[in-house]
Structure 1
Amino acid sequence: MIRLRGWDPVLGMNLRNARIAEQNPTAAIRLVNDKYATKEALTAAGAPTSPTVALLRSRPEVSSLDWSGLPDCWALKPNQSLGGNGIMLSFGRRRSHWSSSSGKRITREAVADHLRRILDGEFSPRPNDWAMFEPLIRAHPDLDRLSHQGLPDIRVICRGDRPQLAMLRLPTRFSGGRANLHQKAIGAAVDLATGRITHALIGRAATGHHPDTGEPLVGASVPHWPEVLDAARRCAGATGLRYLGADIVVDADRGPLVLEVNARPGLQIQNVTGRGLATASARHRRH
């Protein structure tokens, strides 16, 4: 256990791994590695998540896909990919093709080829995978204005059904529109009680404004915050995990949606929030 000046005790990698081994059953970890099965479990538990438009499990299903049944705007995802790899997005339909966020043509042939690559396991740790189409998520305007292009999300660390820490991850030009902190996205600490941003970092440097949009960050509120926390609380019961990271987005029309549940959430949230997880972990174990 590490203690930094002025901080709660920090949860290190070894202690985190011990907690995961102790509290996250193998079956629960296996479940959350399967995005489609996780979505079904979340739905059954009353946690909001994005619906599945189409699920493809084999090449013959690609050949028989009803292309006209796809919405104009969609997200195509591998079922078991890591780190957001292998995702293709459509932002609109133009007669016989779709358009990317930059307006580039996405042909049916390109989509079919991408589907086959997903099924062959190119983006998965396993040799074969499934492919899912979902409706495209569009960020709530209050969060969209704080981001550069991509989709911002909220990471909530939970011990059982108790949220412990929360941060908002905001894409930047340097992160290529992705909400990955190691690619220079912004990590913004969110107060659990109010849903307001208390401070923000790019890497280790503090920032009060988004470097690309110029929007002030400190004091901004995450919309639908009570519903965000409620969605995070439902993840433990849905999946069987007792220590987890819930990744939640706030859609402009549908509100909070659980995007993913992580059985081994990273520890960088402690750097972003300035709060250590070891005290919260010990407190949870005493209750």
Structure 2
Amino acid sequence: MERAEMGVRRFGRVNWLGLWTLASREVQRFTVVWTQTLLAPLVTAGLFLMIFNIAIGPRRGDVMGVVFIEFLAPGLLMMTVIQNAFANTSSSIVISKVQGNIVDTLMPPLSAGEILLGYLAGGVARGALVALAITLGLLVVLGMTVAHPLWLVSFVILGGAFMGSVGIVAGIFANKFDQIAAITNFIVTPLAFLSGTFYSVTALPDGLREMTAFNPVFYLIDGARYGVIGVSDGAPEFGLVVVIASTAAVAAIGWAMLRKGYRLKS
């Protein structure tokens, strides 16, 4: 007997137990290998800071009124958050598809929205924990302080939700790890690197600056920078609206794919 349509909710009520179970599973996926998922990104971000500071920091001078390493740190923080949020959701779905146990997620009485939120919980949690570790490192090692904590927290959560949603869409679309690697190398990484992580967009020519305005990751980087050092290329309020709209749009695509069972049921 075929199960009811995945997107149908039970009498309009949320399956809180099922949602909590899926979210817990997604969090436990990365916490049991914390040296790979939490410690490794922290080390990588530290190496980026050290190498860039040694290579060009002394010659670069101040950027937007702050020393280069302090300007660079928030961008690296957000770049690490979005990369880990994407990796968590996309790898979870692809691994389940490759191993053939995706049915264990689809068969329980969970709606498409609940499955989406369960996967996103893992991506957001991983991104937030990475952000917390890097922020503590900035406080201890560089002596930096967080200028606007609420803004930073808001953009970290939204960054995890946005790229977690992108990871869900990518994971559903991909049928093998090579396809996820291609999406990471040709979409996720360029979006992160060409979004003001290592520079202020005011230094770009007019054409590139206008193209950057259409990159949601730029607003995440810029918002995190405002949260940490209190300066940004654009208005954080506008960036917040853009990121919320972008997250809602990508999440809606993921919800539609889950509801239809696109590339999941066959």
TM-score relative to the length of structure 2: 0.28
Q: Which has the higher helix share?
A: 2
Q: Which has the higher contact order (CA 8 A, sep 6+)?
A: 2
Q: Which has the higher strand share?
A: 1
TM-score relative to the length of structure 1: 0.27
